[in-house]
Amino acid sequence: MRRPLVAGNWKMNLNLAQANELVAGIRAAYDPSPTVEVAVCPPAVYLIPVVKAVGDSGIAVGAQDLYFEPSGAYTGEISAAMIADTGAKCVIIGHSERRHTISHHEDDWMMNRKVAAALATNLTPILCVGETVEQRKAGQTLAVLTFQLIAGLADIPLADPEQVVIAYEPVWAIGTGQVATPEQAQEAHAHLRDKLGQIAGQQIAAGVRILYGGSMKPDNAAEIMSKPDVDGGLIGGASLKPDSFVGIIRAAAAAAV
Protein backbone atom coordinates (compact mmCIF):
# COMPACT_ATOMS: atom_id res chain seq x y z
CA MET A 1 0.00 0.00 0.00
CA ARG A 2 1.50 3.33 -1.05
CA ARG A 3 1.14 6.22 1.38
CA PRO A 4 -0.07 9.24 -0.59
CA LEU A 5 2.01 12.41 -0.51
CA VAL A 6 0.55 15.88 -0.86
CA ALA A 7 3.32 18.40 -1.50
CA GLY A 8 2.85 22.15 -1.84
CA ASN A 9 5.10 23.92 -4.33
CA TRP A 10 5.01 27.55 -3.28
CA LYS A 11 7.17 28.62 -6.25
CA MET A 12 8.38 32.24 -5.94
CA ASN A 13 5.47 33.35 -3.78
CA LEU A 14 4.91 34.72 -0.27
CA ASN A 15 7.10 36.76 2.03
CA LEU A 16 8.40 35.45 5.34
CA ALA A 17 5.44 36.66 7.38
CA GLN A 18 3.01 35.14 4.88
CA ALA A 19 4.96 31.87 4.85
CA ASN A 20 4.72 31.63 8.64
CA GLU A 21 1.04 32.50 8.50
CA LEU A 22 0.39 29.83 5.89
CA VAL A 23 2.14 27.14 7.93
CA ALA A 24 0.22 28.19 11.04
CA GLY A 25 -3.02 28.03 9.06
CA ILE A 26 -2.22 24.56 7.72
CA ARG A 27 -1.25 23.33 11.17
CA ALA A 28 -4.48 24.69 12.66
CA ALA A 29 -6.71 23.06 10.05
CA TYR A 30 -4.90 19.82 9.43
CA ASP A 31 -5.36 16.61 11.36
CA PRO A 32 -2.09 14.67 11.15
CA SER A 33 -2.95 11.37 9.61
CA PRO A 34 -0.78 8.32 9.32
CA THR A 35 -2.33 7.68 5.93
CA VAL A 36 -1.09 10.83 4.16
CA GLU A 37 2.34 12.43 4.07
CA VAL A 38 2.40 16.21 3.72
CA ALA A 39 5.22 18.47 2.57
CA VAL A 40 5.64 22.15 1.77
CA CYS A 41 8.33 23.49 -0.57
CA PRO A 42 9.07 27.16 0.10
CA PRO A 43 11.64 29.32 -1.70
CA ALA A 44 15.14 28.30 -0.55
CA VAL A 45 15.69 31.40 1.60
CA TYR A 46 12.69 30.41 3.73
CA LEU A 47 13.65 26.77 4.27
CA ILE A 48 15.12 27.34 7.73
CA PRO A 49 12.23 29.42 9.15
CA VAL A 50 9.66 27.08 7.58
CA VAL A 51 11.38 24.03 9.09
CA LYS A 52 11.06 25.85 12.41
CA ALA A 53 7.43 26.77 11.76
CA VAL A 54 6.34 23.21 10.92
CA GLY A 55 7.98 22.05 14.17
CA ASP A 56 6.71 18.67 15.29
CA SER A 57 3.56 18.79 13.16
CA GLY A 58 4.72 15.94 10.97
CA ILE A 59 4.73 18.22 7.89
CA ALA A 60 7.96 17.78 5.92
CA VAL A 61 9.77 20.62 4.18
CA GLY A 62 11.30 20.41 0.73
CA ALA A 63 13.30 22.62 -1.61
CA GLN A 64 12.21 23.55 -5.13
CA ASP A 65 15.53 22.77 -6.80
CA LEU A 66 19.18 22.06 -6.11
CA TYR A 67 22.47 22.19 -7.95
CA PHE A 68 24.20 18.87 -8.53
CA GLU A 69 27.79 19.80 -7.68
CA PRO A 70 28.74 19.36 -4.02
CA SER A 71 30.49 22.75 -3.71
CA GLY A 72 32.56 25.22 -5.66
CA ALA A 73 32.38 28.31 -7.82
CA TYR A 74 28.70 28.14 -8.78
CA THR A 75 27.39 31.57 -7.92
CA GLY A 76 23.78 31.56 -6.87
CA GLU A 77 23.45 27.78 -6.65
CA ILE A 78 22.59 25.64 -3.63
CA SER A 79 23.89 22.12 -3.05
CA ALA A 80 22.01 19.08 -1.80
CA ALA A 81 24.02 19.10 1.44
CA MET A 82 23.10 22.74 2.07
CA ILE A 83 19.44 21.88 1.62
CA ALA A 84 19.73 18.89 3.94
CA ASP A 85 21.44 21.13 6.52
CA THR A 86 18.30 23.25 6.77
CA GLY A 87 16.28 20.24 7.91
CA ALA A 88 14.53 19.84 4.55
CA LYS A 89 13.79 16.25 3.57
CA CYS A 90 12.88 16.38 -0.10
CA VAL A 91 13.55 18.42 -3.23
CA ILE A 92 11.62 19.03 -6.43
CA ILE A 93 13.71 18.29 -9.52
CA GLY A 94 12.91 19.03 -13.14
CA HIS A 95 9.81 21.14 -12.67
CA SER A 96 8.62 22.30 -16.06
CA GLU A 97 9.24 25.90 -15.01
CA ARG A 98 12.91 24.93 -14.91
CA ARG A 99 12.88 22.68 -17.94
CA HIS A 100 11.11 25.08 -20.26
CA THR A 101 11.74 28.68 -19.21
CA ILE A 102 14.30 30.55 -21.23
CA SER A 103 16.48 31.47 -18.28
CA HIS A 104 16.94 27.85 -17.16
CA HIS A 105 16.33 25.34 -19.95
CA GLU A 106 17.49 22.43 -17.83
CA ASP A 107 17.88 19.20 -19.72
CA ASP A 108 17.44 15.55 -18.79
CA TRP A 109 21.16 15.05 -18.24
CA MET A 110 21.02 17.73 -15.58
CA MET A 111 17.90 16.19 -13.99
CA ASN A 112 19.73 12.90 -13.72
CA ARG A 113 22.70 14.51 -11.96
CA LYS A 114 20.36 16.35 -9.64
CA VAL A 115 18.48 13.16 -8.71
CA ALA A 116 21.81 11.47 -7.96
CA ALA A 117 22.97 14.42 -5.84
CA ALA A 118 19.73 14.40 -3.84
CA LEU A 119 19.92 10.67 -3.19
CA ALA A 120 23.58 10.88 -2.18
CA THR A 121 22.52 13.32 0.54
CA ASN A 122 19.44 11.36 1.65
CA LEU A 123 17.02 13.93 0.26
CA THR A 124 14.01 12.47 -1.51
CA PRO A 125 13.92 13.75 -5.10
CA ILE A 126 10.48 14.54 -6.50
CA LEU A 127 11.28 14.11 -10.18
CA CYS A 128 8.78 15.95 -12.41
CA VAL A 129 7.96 14.71 -15.88
CA GLY A 130 5.30 15.84 -18.31
CA GLU A 131 4.44 16.66 -21.88
CA THR A 132 3.74 20.03 -23.47
CA VAL A 133 0.46 20.70 -25.22
CA GLU A 134 2.15 20.32 -28.61
CA GLN A 135 3.54 16.94 -27.63
CA ARG A 136 0.12 15.77 -26.42
CA LYS A 137 -1.54 16.94 -29.63
CA ALA A 138 1.09 15.10 -31.65
CA GLY A 139 0.38 11.86 -29.77
CA GLN A 140 3.83 11.89 -28.13
CA THR A 141 2.76 11.98 -24.48
CA LEU A 142 3.77 8.46 -23.48
CA ALA A 143 7.03 8.60 -25.43
CA VAL A 144 7.97 11.89 -23.72
CA LEU A 145 7.20 10.41 -20.30
CA THR A 146 9.27 7.32 -21.07
CA PHE A 147 12.23 9.40 -22.16
CA GLN A 148 12.12 11.80 -19.21
CA LEU A 149 11.74 8.98 -16.69
CA ILE A 150 14.49 6.80 -18.11
CA ALA A 151 16.87 9.74 -18.56
CA GLY A 152 16.12 11.14 -15.10
CA LEU A 153 16.78 7.83 -13.37
CA ALA A 154 19.63 6.60 -15.59
CA ASP A 155 22.28 4.67 -13.65
CA ILE A 156 20.46 5.27 -10.38
CA PRO A 157 19.94 2.01 -8.52
CA LEU A 158 16.83 2.07 -6.36
CA ALA A 159 16.90 -0.12 -3.29
CA ASP A 160 13.76 1.23 -1.66
CA PRO A 161 10.64 2.55 -3.42
CA GLU A 162 10.34 5.49 -1.01
CA GLN A 163 13.75 6.81 -2.10
CA VAL A 164 12.19 8.66 -5.02
CA VAL A 165 8.88 10.26 -5.88
CA ILE A 166 7.75 10.89 -9.45
CA ALA A 167 5.37 13.73 -10.30
CA TYR A 168 3.39 13.61 -13.53
CA GLU A 169 2.89 17.26 -14.42
CA PRO A 170 1.39 17.87 -17.85
CA VAL A 171 2.86 21.25 -18.76
CA TRP A 172 -0.47 22.44 -20.24
CA ALA A 173 -2.19 21.92 -16.88
CA ILE A 174 0.26 23.84 -14.70
CA GLY A 175 -1.16 27.10 -13.44
CA THR A 176 -3.70 27.15 -16.26
CA GLY A 177 -6.82 25.91 -14.48
CA GLN A 178 -6.97 23.22 -17.13
CA VAL A 179 -6.72 19.95 -15.27
CA ALA A 180 -6.01 16.52 -16.77
CA THR A 181 -9.03 14.24 -16.66
CA PRO A 182 -8.74 11.42 -14.14
CA GLU A 183 -8.46 9.04 -17.11
CA GLN A 184 -5.61 11.04 -18.69
CA ALA A 185 -3.81 11.08 -15.35
CA GLN A 186 -4.32 7.36 -14.81
CA GLU A 187 -3.06 6.52 -18.29
CA ALA A 188 0.13 8.53 -17.73
CA HIS A 189 0.69 7.20 -14.21
CA ALA A 190 0.13 3.57 -15.22
CA HIS A 191 2.58 4.06 -18.07
CA LEU A 192 5.19 5.55 -15.75
CA ARG A 193 4.78 2.69 -13.29
CA ASP A 194 5.14 0.18 -16.07
CA LYS A 195 8.37 1.82 -17.25
CA LEU A 196 9.62 2.02 -13.66
CA GLY A 197 9.07 -1.72 -13.47
CA GLN A 198 11.33 -2.18 -16.47
CA ILE A 199 14.01 0.06 -14.97
CA ALA A 200 13.91 -0.91 -11.31
CA GLY A 201 11.89 -4.12 -11.07
CA GLN A 202 8.23 -4.71 -10.32
CA GLN A 203 8.57 -4.65 -6.57
CA ILE A 204 10.15 -1.20 -6.49
CA ALA A 205 7.74 0.11 -9.14
CA ALA A 206 4.75 -1.05 -7.12
CA GLY A 207 5.89 1.03 -4.14
CA VAL A 208 7.03 4.31 -5.78
CA ARG A 209 4.64 7.21 -5.25
CA ILE A 210 3.56 8.94 -8.47
CA LEU A 211 1.95 12.32 -7.81
CA TYR A 212 -0.26 14.28 -10.15
CA GLY A 213 0.41 18.01 -10.55
CA GLY A 214 -1.40 20.63 -12.61
CA SER A 215 -4.33 22.74 -11.40
CA MET A 216 -5.24 20.29 -8.65
CA LYS A 217 -7.85 21.83 -6.34
CA PRO A 218 -10.01 20.51 -3.50
CA ASP A 219 -12.92 20.00 -5.90
CA ASN A 220 -11.05 17.87 -8.44
CA ALA A 221 -8.51 16.17 -6.15
CA ALA A 222 -10.73 13.36 -4.90
CA GLU A 223 -11.60 12.11 -8.35
CA ILE A 224 -8.03 12.22 -9.66
CA MET A 225 -6.63 10.61 -6.52
CA SER A 226 -9.23 7.84 -6.64
CA LYS A 227 -7.39 6.45 -9.65
CA PRO A 228 -5.27 3.44 -8.73
CA ASP A 229 -1.89 4.78 -9.85
CA VAL A 230 -2.29 8.34 -8.52
CA ASP A 231 -0.61 8.59 -5.13
CA GLY A 232 -1.14 12.21 -4.17
CA GLY A 233 -0.43 15.60 -5.66
CA LEU A 234 2.16 18.28 -6.27
CA ILE A 235 0.14 21.42 -5.71
CA GLY A 236 1.03 24.93 -6.88
CA GLY A 237 -1.63 27.64 -6.60
CA ALA A 238 -3.90 25.75 -4.23
CA SER A 239 -1.04 25.19 -1.77
CA LEU A 240 -0.87 28.90 -0.98
CA LYS A 241 -4.08 28.97 1.08
CA PRO A 242 -4.59 26.77 4.16
CA ASP A 243 -8.18 25.89 3.24
CA SER A 244 -7.48 24.67 -0.26
CA PHE A 245 -4.26 22.85 0.68
CA VAL A 246 -5.90 21.11 3.63
CA GLY A 247 -8.91 20.31 1.42
CA ILE A 248 -6.57 18.41 -0.90
CA ILE A 249 -4.89 16.63 2.04
CA ARG A 250 -8.35 15.49 3.19
CA ALA A 251 -9.20 14.28 -0.31
CA ALA A 252 -5.96 12.26 -0.32
CA ALA A 253 -6.83 10.76 3.08
CA ALA A 254 -10.28 9.81 1.83
CA ALA A 255 -8.85 8.25 -1.34
CA ALA A 256 -6.35 6.25 0.72
CA VAL A 257 -8.94 4.30 2.73
Please state the three-class secondary structure of the chain as a single string.
Answer: CCCCEEEEECCCCCCHHHHHHHHHHHHHHCCCCCCCEEEEECCHHHHHHHHHHHCCCCCEEEECCCECCCCCCCCCCCEHHHHHHCCCCEEEECCHHHHCCCCCCCCHHHHHHHHHHHHHCCCEEEEEECCCHHHHHCCCHHHHHHHHHHHHCCCCCCCCHHHCEEEECCHHHCCCCCCCCHHHHHHHHHHHHHHHHHHHCHHHHHHCEEEEECCCCHHHHHHHHCCCCCCEEEECHHHCCHHHHHHHHHHHHHHHC
Q: Give the residue, chosen from 161, 237, 242, 247, that forms a contact with ligand PGA under the rule CB under 6 A.
A: 237
Chain residue whose CB lies nearest ligand PGA: 236
Under rule CB under 6 A, residue 215 binds ligand PGA: yes
Could you tell me which residues are beta bridge partners of residue 235? 8
Within 13 Å and on the Cβ side, how many CA atoms surround 79?
Answer: 11
Asked about 105 being catalytic, the answer comes back as no
Under rule CB under 6 A, residue 175 binds ligand PGA: yes
Q: Give the residue, chosen from 125, 236, 242, 247, that forms a contact with ligand PGA under the rule CB under 6 A.
A: 236
Q: Give the residue, chosen from 174, 200, 208, 230, that forms a contact with ligand PGA under the rule CB under 6 A.
A: 174
Total site size for ligand PGA, rule CB under 6 A:
13
Which one is catalytic: 106, 169, 187, 191?
Answer: 169
Name the minimum Å distance from CB 23 to ligand PGA.
18
Asked about 169 being catalytic, the answer comes back as yes
Q: Give the residue, chosen from 216, 225, 251, 252, that forms a contact with ligand PGA under the rule CB under 6 A.
A: 216
Name the minimum Å distance from CB 215 to ligand PGA.
4
Site for ligand PGA in 31-90 (CB under 6 A): none
Q: Give the residue, chosen from 83, 126, 129, 234, that forms a contact with ligand PGA under the rule CB under 6 A.
A: 234
Site string for ligand PGA, 122-161 (x = CB under 6 A): ----------------------------------------
Interface with ligand PGA (CB under 6 A): 9, 169, 174-175, 213-216, 234-238
Residues forming the active site: 95, 169
